[in-house]
Amino acid sequence: MTNKMWGGRFASGPSEIMEEINASIGYDQRLYNQDIDGSLAHAKMLGDTGILTAADVKKISKGLEDIRKEIADGKFEFSRQLEDIHMNVEQRLRELIGDTAGRLHTARSRNDQVATDFKLYIRQTIDHLAEQIGTLQYVLAQKAAEHADVVMPGYTHLQSAQPVTFGHHCLAYVEMLGRDRSRFKDARKRLNECPLGAAALAGTSFPIDRKQTAKALGFDRPTANSLDSVADRDFVLEALSAASISAIHLSRFAEELVIWSSAEFRFIHLSDGYTTGSSIMPQKRNPDAAELIRAKIGRILGAFNSLAIVMKGLPLAYSKDMQEDKEVAFDALDNYSLALAAMTGMISDMEPNVERLAKSAGGGFSTATDIADWLVRVLALPFRDAHHITGSIVAMAEKQDLQLDQLSLEDMQKVEPKITKDIFNVLSVENSVKSRTSYGGTAPTAVRKMANKWIKALEKEGLSS
Ligand code: ARG
């Protein structure tokens, strides 16, 4: 049997394999709401412009709403022979209302139809993701406010560098996620132009009103070039690239959580809800959620890569290659969303091990920079000289197996005679972090202020945990 939608010039139907490679209904059925919304807007416009009669539009619209309900109720039978969601819906419409169904496709093509549907889907997904990111930011900002005074080691090269506060570390991710969120919002602005009415590629000779359909579907305006309208998948690539960058952030954080929750570090405690046990080693509490979040970047960046490669050599306008945009995007954005949810749950349950963090914060001569700064501030030495002197003091402490604040004043004066006991004020971890009050610095006062600023801003947007 030839295809009812396009089989006019065909003597026989597609081969089994052709059908298999051609069909997208297995995954694009999730676009059914967008497809029906697009068709309703299109039908109404066709009526308003006198292209269809009011009676036909009424019949079509009623039929489309009935189909929406059938699909939502799980009563719709999707057919692979009908390739995709667009033709499945149209064929069902024909069954429900008869030949009038065939008038819906006036001044439209599946090319502008699929671009419209997918844009609507990506737009809605972006809105949801942006909210999820905001919720994670909120949870992190609350942790930051709560633990603004908790000291911990700050690292560079994963070597103890300078003490920081736990709240400060949380806020670093709030900033990253803030940029991630703005990347999605920015992509949303750019994608919000309606391709419907571009038809197959050249526009249409019917007197359609593209502004009307654009407005009805919540777009800012119609797209301005019909070729571009059906050939563009930038909006998918942008969403995937925003997801990839954000997934990199989640992955870095997840890696830290894996390290921090290890028996060697014991910096944090992860809840039962976000860890698993081992079937053989009873002592284990594995940070599986963190590990899986760390891994999700693989398929998310993979999806970007995959679609970028699909698109890179395509001549204008539409090519069937572009059907490959959906499966990877669905998978990537679903998994990114899941990673955000898992991270949010894990973080809201996470508890820092305050004593352990404080003990580690003083290790590795982490207040050495504070000695150098003291030599500059109090003795007016050039920083490079102060750095050198401090290096000698650290070497001495290392040799005697002591922390910096356990060294005697006499020993320090052997290195630099002008050092006074006042230097001991800067050797404690608490004083070290307290002193870092510069804007964006780790001092508890600064952290508390910044955390509260975020909490307020996010609450103003209606976000909370
Ligand atoms: N299922 C197709 C897709 O996802 C719809 C567009 C098909 N257009 C066409 N001329 N074959 O891209």
Q: Where in the sequence numbering do the catalytic residues fall?
A: 157, 278
* Number of Cβ within a 10 Å radius of residue 411: 15
In angstroms, what is the span from residue 112 Cα to ligand 1's centroid? 9
pLDDT single digits (tens) 446-458: 999 999 999 999 9
For the chain, the residue count is 465
In angstroms, what is the span from residue 99 Cα to ligand 1's centroid? 23
The answer for 66, left when phi > 0, alpha when psi is -120 to 50, beta otherwise, is: alpha
Q: Which atom of ligand 1 is nearest to 85's Cα?
A: 1
pLDDT single digits (tens) 135-170: 999 999 999 999 999 999 999 999 998 999 999 999
pLDDT for the residue numbered 122: 98
Give the containing element (helix H, strand E) for 248: helix 234-260
Q: Is the pLDDT of residue 3 over 80?
A: no
Classify 291 as helix, strand or coil: helix
User: CA-to-CA distance for 41 and 217, rounded, in angstroms?
Assistant: 7
Average pLDDT over residues 43-55: 98
Strands of 268-353 (E only): list them.
Answer: 268-269, 351-352
> Which of 428, 391, 388 is CA-nearest to residue 406?
428
pLDDT for the residue numbered 1: 63
pLDDT class of 280 with cuts at 50, 70, 90: confident
Pocket of ligand 1 (CB under 6 A): 24, 28, 84, 110-111, 114, 318, 320, 322-323
Q: Are strands 221-222 and 351-352 parallel, antiparallel or unpaired?
A: unpaired
pLDDT class of 5 with cuts at 50, 70, 90: confident
Instruction: Indicate which residue's Cα is closest to atom 12 of ligand 1.
Output: 323
Please report where in the chains the tokens 């610095």 appear, as a residue: 441
pLDDT single digits (tens) 113-125: 999 999 999 999 9
> Which of 87, 107, 106, 95 is CA-nearest to residue 35?
87
Instruction: Indicate which residue's Cα is closest to atom 1 of ligand 1.
Output: 84
pLDDT single digits (tens) 173-193: 999 999 999 999 999 999 999
In angstroms, what is the span from residue 24 Cα to ligand 1's centroid? 9
12 or 117, which is more confident: 117
Q: Is the pLDDT of residue 4 over 90?
A: no
pLDDT single digits (tens) 189-247: 999 999 999 999 999 999 999 999 999 999 999 999 999 999 999 999 999 999 999 99
Give percent of the chain above pLDDT 70.
100
Give percent of the chain above pLDDT 90.
89
Instruction: Indicate which residue's Cα is closest to atom 4 of ligand 1.
Output: 323
